Structure 1
Amino acid sequence: MQANTPPPKVSVVMPCYNNAAYVRQAVDSVLQQDYPNIELIVVDDGSRDNSLEVLAGYGEQIKVVSQPNQGPAAARNNGIRHATGDYIAFLDSDDLWLPGKLSAQLAFLAQYPDYIACYCSWSVWDGRSTDQFIPCEQTGQSLELQQDKSGWLYLPLLEDSVIHTISLVIKKEVVDQAGFFNETLRVGEDHDYWLRLSRIGKIAKLKQVYALYRANLQSVTRKVHDKNYSLLVLESAVEKYGLCSPDGSCLPESIYRQYVAQRHFVYGYQSFWAGHRDKARLSFINSVKHPNYCLKSMLYLACSQFGFLYQRVLTKKV
């Protein structure tokens, strides 16, 4: 590359919905990256607070796109449509990037062009100081790979969504090939997208923590959605792609059945303690079929079968 040739542009897509209290920190963590060619696109997803006022203060440093409230998948898709970069990265408006993130990832992708994307390690953050996450003596970029979470990731992704949205940088040509996030998925649209990426090429994970996920300390219980989206994403991927990775490695049918049972059990457990007895009962009926979850599922199923017993258990929990 000639000295006067600018480095590849990275388009950073940031959905924002009612995050006026946090979006400034998120935006600053992008603008303060030492990578020299960044385009930040903030998609306001119909915020009802003063998020737009906060964003207006940045002037031409960022590009702000407004849309009616449609959810994070639609917001990310809108940001992708406006992106003009050679790479796409994502950051949510209440999370944070640490110094050196983009430089390290772009350096890796330049050095190893056979990878289509690069993600990094992340940590859960309480919103206080970030000093604990930054090494006292950080000498240069850390490009060390986490080998067990790098390469052809289709099989690891069938087990779990090992990639965090805020950690990933993807080649734009690959995004064009993979298409947009599935807006019909209320949750799990990111997992669905990573599974699609994993069919296209190899993905690398840097060991270094470069991203912080803000913990929602106000949430006492996890919200139970209308459908078991985690299961839907898994079954949809296997129906479309099967149990074998593009590199030739395959997942045994018995392990796949275990993954299915685990998703039934987790959804049943969440539904049980959130007061959705019917959802819980149906999920435990499915998870009880697998030996790994048989005993636990039977116990929860017995409690959820009888209203008086279920209410008694819930009362003791409270």
Structure 2
Amino acid sequence: MLASVVIACYKHEAYLEHCLETVFDQTYPKLELIIVDDNSPDNSFQLAERLLKRKSFAKRFASCKLLKNPTNMGAHFTWNRALSLATGEMLFLLNSDDAFSKERVATFVDRHGAEKLFFGFSAIEPIDENGKSIKSFQFPARLRYATSQAVSSDRPLSWSFLESQIAASTGNFVLSAELLRQAGWFADLKYCHDWEFALRAITIVEPKYVESDQYMYRLHATNSFRGLSSVAESETRACMQSYSLRAMTSKPQNGTCLSPLNMGDAFYKLIRNYPNFRFWMRQLYAPYLAEHRTVELNQWTVPAEWR
């Protein structure tokens, strides 16, 4: 099976070589490498170009593609352009400032390569600007808690995505080419394009989690979440609206994701355990509240103040 490693690059000259070395060092043999640079103002593109010109580097891959956007188009466009070039059956996304463990591709292919529809992620290890592990950072612990709580309580992992982007980063996504075909491209969102994609994906297939630290998430002064948090609220609204339209207006392909069309009356009790999701339901979709529903026909009425 061909596995495509897809990298969206922007202004990460300081980290890109290490990033690409961890792809080169994968134990899985059959890899395709795709890099799209979003018109970086630094030498990121030139560095990647120089590495790919090395015979020993380029020969390691079944194919290599390197492109540069004519202008800065944004993360969602860059991811979509890179993914459109992928020919592998399994797609591994990777941020240009992050890194893979040596076994990442092999681990996912061995466990899930036979699944036509697949969406997954792994535990993460935070690293600093020099690539050293940051043991004191609590973010990975919170993600592990969210996933372990779902597993221990025998709840579908898709439900946890309604509270937050528990995979932490776009670069931690692993998906089948068929899932991308069905779910579609990343939406034009600056901060939450990865979460919005995940919420679409989980209506199609239940996500899988690899408990070992297979993704190295680098923390530095220019992390995108540090500069884009001001748009988080409006984009969260967009994410919840996207999920609601998919999960509530037609029966989801994933029969375990939270939807009244999957759970009937139980849905309204279950969402009480997910305050973030419940809050946005009340904000966006009052017709889905119990007093406005006709369960028998799966139809919804609009309250007078919404008309």
> Hey, what does 1:293 align to over in structure 2?
none
Amino acid at match of 1:77: N
> Hey, what does 2:220 align to over in structure 1?
216
Amino acid at match of 1:258: P
> Hey, what does 1:181 align to over in structure 2?
186
Q: Percent identity?
A: 21
Distance 2:104 2:12 in 1: 23
> What is the CA distance between 1:201 and its match in structure 2?
1.4
The yes-or-no answer on 1:165 pairing with 2:170 is: yes
Alpha-carbon distance change, 189 to 101 in structure 1, aligned in 2, over 3 angstroms? same
In structure 1, runs of 5+ residues without a counterpart are: 1-7, 134-144, 264-282, 284-318
- Residues 147-156 or 34-43, more deviating: 147-156
> Hey, what does 2:294 align to over in structure 1?
none
The yes-or-no answer on 1:106 pairing with 2:109 is: yes
The yes-or-no answer on 1:255 pairing with 2:257 is: no
Alpha-carbon distance change, 54 to 257 in structure 1, aligned in 2, over 3 angstroms? closer
> What is the CA distance between 1:261 and its match in structure 2?
7.7
> What is the CA distance between 1:78 and its match in structure 2?
0.2
Give the one of 223, 238, 242 matched to 1:236.
242
In structure 2, runs of 5+ residues without a counterpart are: 59-63, 136-146, 257-261, 284-307
Which residues of 2 match residues 5-20 of structure 1 at below 5 A? 8-20=1-13
> Hey, what does 2:296 align to over in structure 1?
none
The yes-or-no answer on 1:44 pairing with 2:44 is: no
Cα deviation code 1:272-317 (max 9, x no counterpart): xxxxxxxxxxx9xxxxxxxxxxxxxxxxxxxxxxxxxxxxxxxxxx
Which residues of 2 match residues 1-318 of structure 1 at below 5 A? 8-59=1-52, 61=58, 62-67=64-69, 68-110=71-113, 113=115, 116-130=118-132, 148=150, 152-163=156-167, 164-183=169-188, 185-217=189-221, 223-225=229-231, 228-242=234-248, 246-247=255-256, 248-249=262-263, 251-252=267-268, 255=272, 258-259=275-276
Cα deviation code 1:9-55 (max 9, x no counterpart): 11111111111111111111111111101111110101111112101
> What is the CA distance between 1:221 and its match in structure 2?
7.6
Amino acid at match of 1:117: F
Contact 1:124 1:213 in 2 (8 A): yes
> What is the CA distance between 1:123 and its match in structure 2?
2.1
> What is the CA distance between 1:121 and its match in structure 2?
0.6
Distance 1:126 1:251 in 2: 42
Equivalent position SS for 1:208: strand
> What is the CA distance between 1:226 and its match in structure 2?
8.1
Equivalent position SS for 1:12: strand
Alpha-carbon distance change, 146 to 38 in structure 1, aligned in 2, over 3 angstroms? farther
Contact 2:125 2:133 in 1 (8 A): no
Contact 2:162 2:274 in 1 (8 A): no
Contact 2:36 2:82 in 1 (8 A): yes
RMSD: 3.2
Contact 1:127 1:214 in 2 (8 A): yes
> What is the CA distance between 1:227 and its match in structure 2?
5.6
Alpha-carbon distance change, 34 to 14 in structure 1, aligned in 2, over 3 angstroms? same
